[in-house]
Each structure stands twice: as C-alpha cells, then as structure tokens.
Chain A
Amino acid sequence: MNIWLVMIIIGLFTFATRFIFIALLERIKLPRNFQRALRFVPIAVLSAIIAPELGYTNNQLALIPTNPRLLAGIVATLVAYKTKSVIWTISAGMAVFWVLHLWM
C-alpha cells in the first residue's frame, strides 16, 4: 500500500470537512433550525466521544463498579462541575484511575 497516497487523500478530506462551511457560509443561507442546532454540536459530539471511553473496556460494555475508567470518569465529572478547572479534572480523574488500577 502506498502510505503517502493514503495520507494525502485523508489529509485533503479532513481539510475539506473542516473548511466546507467556513468557506461557503456566505453563499448558502442556513435554515433557522440548523442555526439553533449548532449550539448543541460541541456538547453532543464531545459527549459521544467520552461515553464509550468510560463505558467500554476492550470493546466490551462494562457499566460495572469494577471498571476504573467509569468510576474515574464519574469523579472527574463531579470535579469538573464543582471546580470548572481542566487541570483539577484531569488530576482527579487520573488519580482515581491509577488507584483503582493498582487495586483491582
């Protein structure tokens, strides 16, 4: 396989998906509902990235109290809610994750 060909095509696709609306917005008028929907984009996409990282281990659903990532994620969520601090959230989450990892 030609790795460079794959890289360049994926790179161009990636740039195109990032560029398309930024470039074209002047020429297309977005429907009102679409504009209302945009407010929910960051919450929806990032939450959908997070949940499987916490809830799955080795491609198996693990919504159980012995899953270190799930517990650490819940603690991190509480810390994020209380402190609104990125550093405290990561520190608390990693600390819980490591402790549980050593323990279990």
Chain B
Amino acid sequence: MNTSTSPSREFWFGVRAELPILLGVIPFGLIYGILALGAGLSPFDAQAMSTVVFAGSAQFMTAQLISAATPMLVVIVTGFVINLRHALYSASIAPYTKHLPLSWKAALAYLLTDEAYAVTIIHYQQEGELTYKHWFFLGAGLALWTCWQISTGVGIFLGAQIPAAWGLDFALPLTFIALVVPGLKDRPGVITAAIASLAALLFFGFPFKLGLLASAFVAIAAGLWSEGK
C-alpha cells in the first residue's frame, strides 16, 4: 500500500470514489432532462438550470412547479427550503476546509452536492494527512458535475424515449443506501438512521418538503442523546 499522497493522486482517487455513484446519478439526470422539457422549459433553459442551480431535487421541483404555473415566489421559497440541507453539509465539511484560500472554498461549495458530500465526508473522516484531501473533494465534485451535465443533456436530447415504467429513478435512493449502511458502525449511528427514517415517513406530508429537515434534526438529537448516555 502506497501511503504517499499528491494532488493528482488525491484528485483521481476522488474521481474513482465517485464513479459507482454516477450509476445512480445518470438515470436521475436523464429523467430530469426529459421531465424539464415535458414541463415546458426550452432545451437551452433546461440545460442552463443544471449549471446555474446544480442541485437535482431543486431542479426537479422547479421544473414541476413551473409547469404547474406556480407563483414565482413560491417556487423560489420552495427551492430554498429543499436546499437548506446543504447548509448542514457545509457545516459538516467546514472544519476540514478551514485552511484553504477563499477561491478554493467557493469552488468546493459550488460542487457540494449530496453525492459529492457523501464520499468526501467519508474520506475526510478517515485517518491521514489533510494536506491534499481537498483535491479528492474536487475530483469527486467535478466527476459528478460532468456526469450531471452530460446526462441531463442526453435526457433533453432523448426526450421521452425512456419509459418511466423502467423506474430508473429508483437507482438514486439505492445509491444512498449503499453510502449510508456501511457507515453505521455504532449504536448512536444506527439510532440516528432509524429515527430519521421513521420521522421522514411520519413528516412526509409537511409543506415544502420541510419534513426532510425536521426529520434530520430530530434524528441528530436522538444520535447525540444516545452518544451521551
């Protein structure tokens, strides 16, 4: 095992760590492209949203709400609320990026999606030198970004060729299962996951997807309580 690191080693290590996740992201991107056209966005606007917003669930929601002629303010507030979870990611990553210049911080923040966060935080939490780990983050983030742009582009191009009945969108929650489950190493972790799942089922009806954040907070509190016992 070679333990020496360098920027390029870390970068490609990050790209490789992200690759299996892309399997779950590609169908999601294809479906977004298809759905955005169906919602009445022009191909150019649909693709532009993938770079300007660059957040899957917010893009789906925006496309859907626009097609339902929702008032602009409601679309914006909903998008904001759905993406609030990224503030939790930001707080969770921040201790590891403290030493970086602002330009790096801004670039990494732009790339801080669910999927990039999931592999990067695992890498940061492992032992080892912090020196080049931001290159891992950059590799994972750019791999996802590139994949997202291409798959939404292909989705827009394909139009409605892929039948929804294939259920390819289901690959994304499966990806998250693959990321969360191996990390459940102790009792507080398992309790956090169980409470989050239960609460998310109970709070599903909350407006503006607020159930997601409410569940996360309840579960984090439960994890802390269990750890403190």
Spell out B's residues near A (CB within 8 Å).
20-21, 23-24, 41, 45, 48-49, 52-55, 58, 62, 66, 69, 72, 75-76, 79-80, 83-95, 97-98, 102, 105-106, 108-110, 112, 114, 117-118, 121, 125, 165, 167, 170-184, 188-189, 192-201, 204, 211-212, 215-217, 219-220, 223-224, 227
Contacts and interface: CB of A to CB of B under 8 A. Distances in A.
A72 B182 CA distance: 17
Contact of A48 (B66, B108, B197, B223): B197
A34 B93 CA distance: 13
Contacts of B80: 10, 13, 17
Sort chain A's interface into a size bin: 35 or more
Interface in A19-65: 19-23, 25-26, 30, 33-56, 61, 63
A101 B179 contact: no
A20 to B, nearest CB: 6
Q: Is the interface of B mostly helix, strand, loop or mixed?
A: helix
Contact of B170 (A18, A46, A93): A93
Contacts, number: 261
Q: Is the interface of A mostly helix, strand, loop or mixed?
A: helix
Nearest to A87: B20
A80 B182 contact: yes
Given A7-B52, A18-B109, A21-B91, A42 B117 contact: yes
Contacts of A20: 87, 90
A76 B174 CA distance: 7
B91 A47 contact: no
B76 A45 contact: no
A11 B59 CA distance: 10
B30 to A, nearest CB: 15
Contacts of B211: 48, 52
Contact of A26 (B98, B117, B125, B212): B98
Contacts of B102: 23
A14 B197 CA distance: 25
A34 B92 CA distance: 10
B45 A18 contact: no
B90 A43 contact: no
A99 to B, nearest CB: 12
Contacts of B85: 45
Contact of B171 (A47, A56, A84, A90): A90
B36 to A, nearest CB: 10
Contacts of A18: 86-87, 89-90, 109-110, 112
